[in-house]
């Protein structure tokens, strides 16, 4: 059973990596992401601690590695409407200018997984920090208030995907939810918390 779980993780990781490489090397490719279903057994890891573990692993790869992208995906149910700290596996993507490559670190409460580097055609914009000034908990509450709560109640098995990356205007949260017969997407300025139409 443990071998099957590891195999599934490796397949999902490979799909995620292909999506990230496609996104950074070409136009309009959507990256699939590994999903997490929280069982409530393991306490969630605060985003600051997850980021520290990710940075330590990336720095061990290349000291010049800079954070380029942060994401998480999971399937919630109505329990998540009361959650203030998201118990998710965070995926941190780093770019090394010296290697001209990206690598991803998956950080959960229990483990750190390394997705090996892949060369990219163009360097991504670096994120100044994670969490950003408008942090994870506030982003989640904003998403719920902008229609996400109602959507989850109507689609309790929806897939939620969170993405943080640097845009020309600054760091931007993108939170999307896709359920059978519907979808919602909310963009939030990660410095001010303003919802962007």
> Are 98 and 64 in contact, with CB atoms under 8 Å apart?
yes
Structure-model confidence comparison of residues 1 and 135, the more confident one: 135
| Residue with token string 């719920």 | 144
Q: For residue 168, name the pLDDT band (cuts at 50, 70, 90).
A: very high
Please state, for a pLDDT cut of 90, what percent of the chain lies above it. 63
Predicted local distance difference test score (pLDDT) of residue 181 = 86
| Segments forming the whole domain that contains residue 24 | 2-196
Q: For residue 177, name the pLDDT band (cuts at 50, 70, 90).
A: very high
Q: What tens digit of pLDDT does each residue of 19-41 get? A: 444 444 443 333 334 444 444 43
Q: Does the predicted TM-score (pTM) go above 0.75?
A: yes
SS3 per-residue string spanning the chain: CHHHHHHHHHHHHHHHHHHHHHHHHCCCCCCCCCEECCCCCCCCCCHHHHHHHHHHHHHHHCCCCEEEEEEEEECCCHHHHHCCCCCCCEEEEEEECCCCEEEEEEECCCCEEEEEEEECCCCCCCCCCCCCCCCHHHHHHHHHHHHHHHHHHHCCCCEEEEEEEEECCEEEEEEEEEECCEEEEEEEECCCCCEEC
Predicted local distance difference test score (pLDDT) of residue 31 = 38
Q: What tens digit of pLDDT does each residue of 37-57 get? A: 444 435 568 899 999 999 999
pLDDT of 185 strictly over 80:
yes
| Structural domains of the chain, count | 1
Q: What tens digit of pLDDT does each residue of 129-140 get? A: 999 999 999 999
Buried b (16+ CB within 10 A) or exposed e, 100-133: ebbbbbbbbbeeebebebbebeeebeebeebbbe
Least confident among 78-87, 103-112, 119-128, 148-157: 78-87
């Amino acid at each position: 059973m443990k071998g099957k779980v590891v195999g599934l993780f490796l397949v999902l990781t490979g799909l995620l990596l292909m999506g990230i490489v496609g996104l950074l090397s070409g136009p309009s490719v959507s990256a699939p992401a590994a999903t997490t279903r929280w069982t409530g057994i393991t306490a969630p890891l605060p985003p600051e601690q997850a980021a520290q573990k990710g940075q330590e692993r990336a720095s061990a790869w290349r000291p010049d590695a800079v954070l380029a992208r942060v994401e998480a995906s999971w399937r919630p149910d109505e329990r998540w409407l009361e959650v203030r700290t998201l118990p998710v596996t965070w995926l941190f993507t780093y770019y090394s200018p010296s290697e001209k490559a990206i690598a991803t670190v998956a950080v959960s409460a229990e483990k750190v997984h390394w997705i090996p580097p892949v060369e990219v055609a163009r360097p991504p914009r670096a994120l100044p920090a994670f969490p950003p000034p408008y942090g994870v908990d506030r982003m989640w509450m904003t998403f719920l208030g902008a229609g996400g709560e109602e959507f989850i109640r109507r689609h309790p098995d929806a897939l939620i995907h969170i993405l943080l990356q640097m845009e020309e205007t600054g760091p931007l949260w993108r939170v999307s939810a896709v359920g059978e017969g519907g979808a919602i997407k909310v963009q939030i300025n990660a410095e001010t918390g303003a919802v962007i139409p």
